[in-house]
Chain A
Amino acid sequence: MPKLTIDGKEIEVPAGTNLIEAARRLGIEIPHYCYHPGLSIAGQCRLCMVDIEKTPRPTIACNTPATDGMIVHTQTDRVKETRRSIMEFHLINHPLDCPVCDQAGECWLQIYYMQHGLYDPRMKDEKVHKPKAVPLGPHVMLDAERCILCSRCVRFCDEVTQTGELGIFNRGDHSEIGLFPGADLTNKYSGNVVDICPVGALTDRDFRFQVRVWYLDTTKSICPGCARGCNIDVHVNRRRPHHAEGRRVARVKPRFNEDVNRWWMCDEGRYGYGFVDAPTRLVLPVRNDAGETRELSWGGAIAAVVDALGRTPADQTAIIASPKLANEDLFAIKTLAEARGIRQVGFRVPPPEPGYEDDFLIRADKNPNTRGAELMGLDGKVDKILNEATAHRVRSLLVFEHDLFDTGWRESDVRSALEAVDTLIFVGPNGSRTSDRAHLALPASAWVERDGTFTSFEGRVQRFRPALGALGEAIPTWEIVGRILAATGAPVTATRAEHWFRALAAGVPAFAGLTYQSIGDTGAMTAGTAPQAPAEAKA
């Protein structure tokens, strides 16, 4: 473990740590563009210069490993002057089109120029012109004039996805990034190149011109797109709703978690939040009676559910829970089932087709909380529930989230089953052919509208937080179930998701000892599972 001094502060770092990372541990930021901790060292942008004692001239920090006794200065006059020079070079052929650039406000050219600029452009000759507004695929737009040729995107495609779509073509000041002519950037992680682009060269086609980044609010969350549980930030546009035609979730960005997704996420997860503001959202509890739909108050809706449950013997009642539900929801359902003696409870509805999976982040299981449902013992046979319903042996059926018509089951089988039950109760954020057939359809908050936790396939329990208010009258599923329980006379004291989590930790051994606090921002493992990477690796 070499011990070195940076700006007068001593620090010991693991062997091989470069000076940017060593400085970061001391809270010292060394400006850089091409360096990215998840990619190989390129040394191209030349911005991360520092002074190292006994070295004749400033040296790039990214390619310099810390050595014992090294004395580093990041703020000498010489270093600052070098940064100003490098910043000027970066901007010589840059179009300076910040007013129409989506990156404005989160652009590292802007940030570093504020800190290290010459402020007096001397370049008065014609700039080099390059392709602008070039779609690189379904998600990414290129402006080659804004590109500073840091090669992060190229290295991402070479090293992380190993798909090699991008290259830097030509040479000298005509160098430009691009795809092989006629090709598309269609790898399943293409959106990450937008995240790692330090400037406005690669922008997100979905986010382009929607809203200025300074109007966005950020909330820590977990991607609900598959069992991996990638850590994300949800960016919402609460303050300028008119900017994006009512679209509340502006974008989703991966959030670093060394043990889960590091800096990355897949495109399916990144662009998969559309259901949150979709027209299919359920916003009011409703009763469907012989083709007639009637809005209900929550009190009325809960009473109707309790009435149905009361009229049906427990052995003729079944619950199809969902692996998309949070642990808190699932534990409330478990509590309800146990309180009412309902033993037909399952969640593992077969998907319409096997999910795509790779050896990086994407899991075949497209549900965020299969593991949680398993650990709570909710894994009853759903095929049997369907058959029992068809045979009129299930009279009341509660379905959470699923559209049973969009599964691996035959539509005719689903139709027969649902037609056979006396009371079909649907709870979920979005309507579907299943909710259309439900006698009672209750609107649940979407994941971004509430607190909760998912348990990833590895057994990592991770928190997501509310980024938005619920649409309409929607409330969290745990609350819906809690109200049903309370209305049946069970003692329910939980008024927050966290209360249900405490009950879960007390009631299910795998969750024993876990609290929202211990889960924190990076998650915590359920009992009997070990993290895949050592805690040491966390920066």
Chain B
Amino acid sequence: MSEKILSRNFGVKDSHTLKVYRETGGYTALAQALGREPAAILDEVKKSNLRGLGGAGFPTGMKWSFIPKNHSGPVYLVINADEGEPGTFKDRYLLERDPHALIEGMIIAARAIKSALGFVYIRGEYVEPWRRFTAAVREAYDAGYLGQGFDIVVHRGAGAYICGEETGLISSLEGKKGWPKVKPPFPAIKGAFGQPTIVNNVETICCVPHIINRGAAWFAGLGSKTQGGTRMYSVSGRVTTPGVYEESCAITLRELIERAGGVSGSGRLKAVVPGGSSAPILAAHEIDVVMDVDGLRNAGTMAGSAGVIVFDDTVSIPEALMVVARFYAHESCGQCTPCRESTGWIYKMCHRIVEGKGRKDDLDTILDVAKRGAGTTICAFYDGAVGPYISYIEKFRGEFEALCQR
């Protein structure tokens, strides 16, 4: 079991308070960072191999470096706390149990990208995390960490998964529907309110104080070759002890399931969704895979948000796909055509199949439609839906066919 970095305080009473955060070494990284040049902070983060932990896994330092050097106007730091990927709950823990880590990380990140204003976009359903985080922000203002060249605005969403997509989030922050923006321009060039903007996930930014405190080399060494650090894996479904597990990015899926007490239900593993519902499913024989961005990519799936959902062999894959397809149909923002039109259609087909009214050609239709739509949309939402559509059917076709008797 690796050292707890991000979750080290989760078991400590009142870990969300400034007092406890300080007592456990909080805000010491900030003091260090304030003595460093922005470029030096950026360099440290680059060397740490920190990668975005919200879903896309993009190298964080590189993302920060896209802010135009000669920009004279404001730069915004936006925190994506719109956690919504099915099977993921780690940001909720961080917001509720270690909000100051996010604040400290934000102040340091803001220094690196020369931002004076940060927004934290918290999903509307997260009322308690929002209260906790807002209280922490107030404490940080009172203690003088905020308001000294960097301010934080806490923003509440209103119920839309697509606002977890960084440009959908920006649209929502601007007071609009959460429609993702057509790229280019990318947010680092023209983001929130038309200004260069960096959007980072909660957990990603929570890593930053540790990188500053203990060095890039230490952080990089915690993980795999191409991804530094530990990661908060959300493990749920048919496991004995579901929960958040902070582990090295170099852990394998098999080990992770064991950490969570092993497969529950029948005790026999059937499949695992390794990175939130958008990640293609892995069959039981595919779980000896390293749980970092590249390991999972090489296995034909993705690390995504590290939401691991375990299926024992009593789970109906067609029923699971119907649930997942219902989610994507419900959450498609409706902006661009392939996603808007086909998520609903595919859900209708999946629903029909589960009801026993499937036709043999439905499966090939779903696969063909999904493959045709993949890569044609404005944002990655649809590709996220295509992951389960294709992998569930291709890997468990027999189960579907058994339901399609017509």
Contact = CB atoms under 8 A, between A and B. Distances in A.
- Indicate whether A and B interact: yes
A173 B329 contact: yes
A171 B334 contact: yes
B224 to A, nearest CB: 25
B375 A173 contact: no
A389 to B, nearest CB: 63
A173 B345 CA distance: 9
B135 interface: no
A44 B378 contact: yes
B341 A89 contact: yes
A485 to B, nearest CB: 63
B390 to A, nearest CB: 15
Nearest to A84: B372
A171 B337 contact: no
B123 to A, nearest CB: 16
A148 B331 contact: no
Contacts of A88: 369, 372
Nearest to A85: B372
A57 B372 CA distance: 12
Nearest to A62: B182
A90 B338 CA distance: 8
A85 B334 contact: no
A149 interface: yes
A143 to B, nearest CB: 17
A171 B338 contact: no
Report which residue of A92, A168, A171 has the largest number of chain B beta carbons within 10 angstroms of its beta carbon: A171
B376 A122 contact: no
Given A45-B337, A149-B340, A168-B334, A125 B348 contact: yes
A45 B160 CA distance: 22
Contacts of B338: 46, 85-86, 89
Interface in A51-73: 57-58, 60, 63
B340 A175 contact: yes
Nearest to A82: B376
B200 interface: no
Contacts of B160: 171
Contact of B376 (A41, A85, A92): A85
Interface string A37-55: 0000111111101000000
A344 interface: no
B341 A125 contact: no
A49 B332 CA distance: 21
Contacts of A90: 337, 341
Contacts of B341: 89-90, 92-93, 173
Interface string B168-186: 0000000001000010100
Contacts of A171: 160, 177, 331-334
Contacts of A92: 341-342, 344-345
A174 interface: yes
A128 interface: yes
Contacts of B330: 172
Interface string B373-390: 101111000000000000
A358 interface: no
B334 A57 contact: no
B9 interface: no
A353 interface: no
A42 B182 contact: yes
Contacts of B349: 125
A98 interface: no
A126 interface: yes
B336 interface: yes
B82 to A, nearest CB: 15
Contacts of A60: 182
A123 interface: yes
A173 B344 contact: yes
A57 B335 CA distance: 21
B365 interface: yes
B336 A45 contact: yes
B373 A170 contact: no
B352 interface: yes
Contacts of B334: 149, 168, 170-175
B343 interface: yes
Contact of A173 (B182, B340, B361, B376): B340
Contacts of B375: 57
Nearest to A174: B334
Contact of A89 (B182, B348, B361, B373): B373
A149 B337 contact: yes
A46 B372 contact: no
B361 to A, nearest CB: 8
A49 B376 contact: yes
Nearest to B336: A44
Nearest to B178: A171
Interface in B117-162: 160
Given A44-B378, A46-B337, A172 B342 contact: no
Nearest to B371: A85
A46 B376 contact: yes
A43 B332 contact: no
Contacts of B373: 85, 89
B345 A125 contact: yes
A49 B377 CA distance: 11
Nearest to A49: B376
Contacts of B352: 125
A88 B372 CA distance: 10
Interface in B360-406: 361, 365, 369, 372-373, 375-378
Contacts of A170: 334
A355 to B, nearest CB: 38
A44 B376 CA distance: 10
B337 A89 contact: yes
A92 B346 CA distance: 11
Contact of B329 (A47, A122, A172): A172
Nearest to A87: B337
Given A57-B375, A88-B372, A93-B341, A43 B336 contact: yes
Given A46-B338, A148-B337, A41 B182 contact: yes
A172 B343 contact: yes
Report which residue of A49, A86, A148, A173 has the largest number of chain B beta carbons within 10 angstroms of its beta carbon: A173
Nearest to B334: A175
A172 B345 contact: no
Given A45-B336, A46-B338, A46-B377, 11 more contacts: A43-B378, A44-B378, A60-B182, A63-B184, A85-B376, A88-B372, A89-B341, A122-B365, A125-B352, A172-B340, A175-B340
23 contacts: A41-B182, A43-B378, A44-B337, A46-B376, A47-B337, A63-B184, A82-B372, A85-B338, A85-B376, A89-B338, A89-B342, A92-B344, A93-B341, A122-B365, A123-B345, A149-B334, A168-B177, A168-B334, A170-B334, A172-B334, A172-B343, A172-B344, A173-B329
Interface of B: 160, 177, 182, 184, 329-338, 340-345, 348-349, 352, 361, 365, 369, 372-373, 375-378
Shortest 9 CB-CB distances between A and B: which pairs? A175-B334, A43-B182, A173-B344, A85-B372, A172-B332, A125-B348, A92-B341, A171-B334, A89-B341
